[in-house]
C-alpha cells in the first residue's frame, strides 16, 4: 500500500484593499522611500482599516475561497488550524471564530503561535492528521493583522509589517505528492531580540505599559537577520539531505517574506537563482504567518504537478524551519 501524504488541493489568499505606501510612511515617521526600499525591498503594504474587522475576517475570506476552489461545503471541514500572533482575542482562539463565521459545524480547530514560522508549524501539524488517517479535509490558515501591534512612531518596525492571510486545504493523496518532510526548530534564548514586551501573564496590561508603548512589536534587527539566514539555510540543507536531493531538485524556493536582504542572502547561500524564488514582499510587506500561503496563492498559476517546493521561514521565539512539498494541485 502506497504511503498517504497530505496534498495541497486548494489555495486561498486575501489582502485588504487599503494600501500603506512608502510615500505615506514618509509623512508619518522620519524615513524615505529610498531608505525603505534599499533595506527591505518593500514598496507598500496592506492595512485592514475597516472598523470591527480582525484577523478572523481575513481568515474567513481565505476559507471561502478554498471551499469554492475545492467544491467543499463547510460541513465537510474536519479541522482548521490558524497560525497567528494577532488573534481576535487572547481567547477564544481565532480558528474557532473562523469556523463559526463560515458555518463549519462539524469541525474543530485551534491556533498555533510560532510568529513568522507559524504557517510552517501548522502545515506540518495538520499534515500528520491526514497521514494518520484521522481526517480527510484539514484547512491551514496563516493570518495576521500586524497593524494592530505595530507602533507607527517606530520607523524601524512600522515600515516592515502589513496585514494579510492565506491558506491551503490538505487532503489525503497516494500519488507521492503532498507534504513530504519538515525540519522545524526553536530556540527560546532568542526571545529577547523579537517580542512584545507587555500584554501577557509576565507583564499584564496596565496604564503604565500602555503609556510606555509596550504592546507593540519590538525587534533588534542585527541578531535576527543573522539567525534568520543561518536557520533557514541550514534547515533547507537538512531537508534536502534527508530526502537524497540537491538544490537543483528544487523547483521553487518559498521563503518567508521578512526582508529582501534576507531572501537574497538565503538564495545566494543555497545557490538558488532569483527566478526560482517566490517574492511578493514589495507589495505586501511582512504579513508574519501570512507570507508563505500568500506566495503560494500568487504563484499558483505557475505551479505544475510534481514541482518540488521548499518552504522556509524564521520568526520570533526564535522559531524556524523548512518543509518540502511536492505540488499536487
Distance between CA atoms of 125 and 111, rounded to whole angstroms?
Answer: 11
Q: Among 82, 116, 158, 295, which one carries the catalytic annotation?
A: 116
Q: Among 286, 295, 328, 329, which one carries the catalytic annotation?
A: 286
State whether residue 136 is helix, strand or coil: coil
Q: Among 256, 280, 308, 329, which one carries the catalytic annotation?
A: 256
Q: Is 264 a catalytic residue?
A: no
Q: Cα–Cα distances in Å, from 283 out to 44, 135, 141, 238, 253?
A: 5, 36, 20, 31, 18
State whether residue 139 is helix, strand or coil: strand
**Which spans in 70-162 are helix H?**
94-102, 118-131
In this structure, the number of other CB atoms found within 10 A of the CB of residue 170 comes to: 29
Torsional class of 230: left (φ above 0), alpha (ψ -120 to 50), beta (otherwise): alpha
186, 314 Cβ separation under 8 angstroms: no
* Backbone dihedral angles phi then psi of residue 322, each to the nearest 5 degrees: -140, 145
19, 162 Cβ separation under 8 angstroms: no
Distance between CA atoms of 77 and 74, rounded to whole angstroms?
Answer: 6
Which sign does the torsion angle of CA 178, 73, 58, 84 carry? negative
Distance between CA atoms of 171 and 131, rounded to whole angstroms?
Answer: 9
Peptide bond into 273 cis (omega under 30): no
Q: Is 286 a catalytic residue?
A: yes
Cα atoms in the 13 Å half-sphere on the side-chain side of 272:
24
Active site residues: 116, 256, 286
Amino acid at each position: 500500500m502506497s504511503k498517504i501524504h497530505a496534498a495541497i488541493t486548494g489555495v486561498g489568499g486575501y489582502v485588504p484593499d487599503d494600501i500603506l505606501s512608502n510615500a505615506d510612511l514618509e509623512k508619518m515617521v522620519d524615513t524615505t522611500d529610498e531608505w525603505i526600499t534599499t533595506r527591505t525591498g518593500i514598496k507598500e503594504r496592506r492595512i485592514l482599516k475597516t472598523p470591527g474587522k480582525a484577523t478572523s475576517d481575513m481568515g474567513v475570506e481565505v476559507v471561502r475561497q478554498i471551499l469554492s476552489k475545492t467544491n467543499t461545503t463547510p460541513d465537510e471541514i474536519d479541522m482548521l488550524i490558524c497560525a497567528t500572533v494577532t488573534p481576535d482575542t487572547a481567547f477564544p482562539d481565532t480558528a474557532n471564530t473562523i469556523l463559526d463565521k463560515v458555518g463549519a459545524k462539524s469541525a474543530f480547530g485551534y491556533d498555533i503561535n510560532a510568529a513568522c514560522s507559524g504557517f510552517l508549524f501548522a502545515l506540518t501539524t495538520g499534515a500528520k492528521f491526514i497521514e494518520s488517517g484521522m481526517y480527510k479535509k484539514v484547512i491551514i490558515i496563516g493570518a495576521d493583522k500586524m497593524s494592530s501591534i505595530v507602533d507607527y512612531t517606530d520607523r524601524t518596525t512600522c515600515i516592515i509589517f502589513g496585514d494579510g492571510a492565506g491558506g491551503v486545504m490538505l487532503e489525503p493523496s497516494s500519488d507521492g505528492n503532498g507534504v513530504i518532510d519538515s525540519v522545524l526548530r526553536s530556540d527560546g534564548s532568542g526571545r529577547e531580540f523579537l517580542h512584545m514586551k507587555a500584554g501577557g501573564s509576565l507583564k499584564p496590561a496596565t496604564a503604565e505599559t500602555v503609556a510606555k508603548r509596550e504592546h507593540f512589536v519590538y525587534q533588534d534587527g542585527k541578531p535576527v537577520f543573522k539567525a534568520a539566514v543561518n536557520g533557514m539555510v541550514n534547515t533547507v540543507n537538512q531537508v534536502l539531505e534527508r530526502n537524497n536531493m540537491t538544490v537543483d531538485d528544487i523547483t521553487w524556493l518559498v521563503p518567508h517574506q521578512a526582508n529582501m536582504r534576507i531572501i537574497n542572502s538565503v538564495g545566494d547561500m543555497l545557490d538558488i537563482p532569483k527566478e526560482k524564488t517566490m517574492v511578493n514582499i514589495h507589495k505586501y510587506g511582512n504579513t508574519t504567518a501570512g507570507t508563505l500561503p500568500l506566495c503560494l496563492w500568487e504563484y499558483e498559476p505557475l505551479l505544475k504537478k510534481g514541482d518540488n517546493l521548499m518552504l522556509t521561514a524564521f520568526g520570533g521565539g526564535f522559531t524556524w524551519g523548512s518543509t518540502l512539498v511536492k505540488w499536487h494541485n
